Amino acid sequence: MSDVKIEISELRKSFGELEVLSGVDQRIEAGEVVCVIGPSGSGKSTFLRCVNLLEQPTSGRIVVDGVELTDPDADIDAARTRIGMVFQQFNLFSHLSVLRNLTVAQRKVLGRDRVKAEETARENLRRVGLAAKENATPAQLSGGQQQRVGIARSLSMDPDVMLFDEPTSALDPELVGDVLDVMRGLADEGMTMLVVTHEMQFAREVADRVLFMDGGAIVEQGRPADVIGNPQRERTRHFLARVLNPTHAVSAVESDSDHG
């Protein structure tokens, strides 16, 4: 086996009485692209947010790059510099220009000098096709552009792993493609990626592995052609039928999961 980037064992998370994750195990190897699908409330976003400890797990073990993050003595800030995170709502720093969004953490966390930080920032803006926008403020950008800046901001820290929390869910449909193209490019370059998404087409084409989550657990996982193309579990079939055919034009739950 090649080297393991993320290793999660017996991950549990409760909010008060409500158990959101009920024992999740997962190993993600270097360069793997893993897409997490599932109905809302299935715990998939919480799962992703536990990986960089934005949510503190109730119990379980999370190891990224050989560092156990769930160890109370772990330097979580240092670990997070190697784990990029892209948010559904972009969360660009609204008081800073695009360029400064990309340089601020490089300078204040990694201690890079201005020249080096801006060089890295411009390189990553080019990578997401927004080199011309470095002086814009986030409010001047479309949602799709903001999300690409969000990706470039994470990439500027030179992460080993990228987490995507429904990166296209807040976008107008015509803007989704540009963001997915950037993510596809990253996958091709060999970035290790964990992506919570509703974009089944993207999961099919780009993912090495798809996890279907429901009720706080991984119900089914495997190659996308299997999980999405030929789901074995009833819950997976039911979910895919609703996602791929939301208007119920054809009666649900057959091998109709091949969308149009």
Which runs of consecutive H residues, i.e. helices, occur in the chain? Answer: 44-51, 76-80, 98-108, 114-127, 143-155, 173-188, 200-206, 224-227, 234-244
In the complex, least distance from residue 177 CB atom to another protein, rounded to whole angstroms: 23
CB 21 within 8 A of CB 12: yes
Of 93, 170, 230, 235, the residue at the interface with another protein (CB under 8 A) is: 93
How near is the Cβ of 92 to another protein at its closest, in Å? 7
Beta bridge partners of 84: 162
210, two tokens? 């798809």
Q: CB of 203: closest distance to another protein in angstroms?
A: 23
The answer to whether 92 contacts another protein (rule: CB under 8 A) is yes
- Residue 140 interacting with another protein (CB under 8 A): yes
**Closer residue to another protein in complex, CB, 138/231:** 138
**Which residues have C-beta within 8 Å of that of residue 176, sequence separation ≥ 6?**
144, 168, 199
Provide the token pair at 48: 């992703």
Q: Which of 149, 157, 161, 186 binds another protein (CB under 8 A)?
A: 157
DSSP 130-147: -GGGTTS-GGGS-HHHHH
Q: Are 186 and 193 in contact (CB under 8 A)?
A: yes
Quick check: 97 binds another protein (CB under 8 A)? no
Q: Which of 89, 142, 201, 232 binds another protein (CB under 8 A)?
A: 89
Residue 59: φ, ψ to 5°: -160, 170
Yes or no: say if 228 and 36 are a contact pair by the CB < 8 Å rule: no
CB of 84: closest distance to another protein in angstroms? 8
Q: Does 137 bind another protein (CB under 8 A)?
A: yes
- Interface region with another protein, contact rule CB under 8 A, candidates 30-38, 102-110, 121-129, 183-191: 102-110
Per CB under 8 A, the list member of 80, 127, 209, 237 interacting with another protein is: 80
User: Of 131-139, 188-196, 217-225, 241-249, which segment contacts another protein by CB under 8 A?
Assistant: 131-139
In the complex, the smallest distance separating the C-beta of residue 33 from another protein, rounded to whole angstroms, is 20
d(CA 227, CA 210): 7
- Binding residues for another protein, rule: CB under 8 A, are 52, 54, 77-78, 80-81, 83-85, 87, 89, 91-95, 104-105, 108-110, 137-140, 150, 153-154, 157
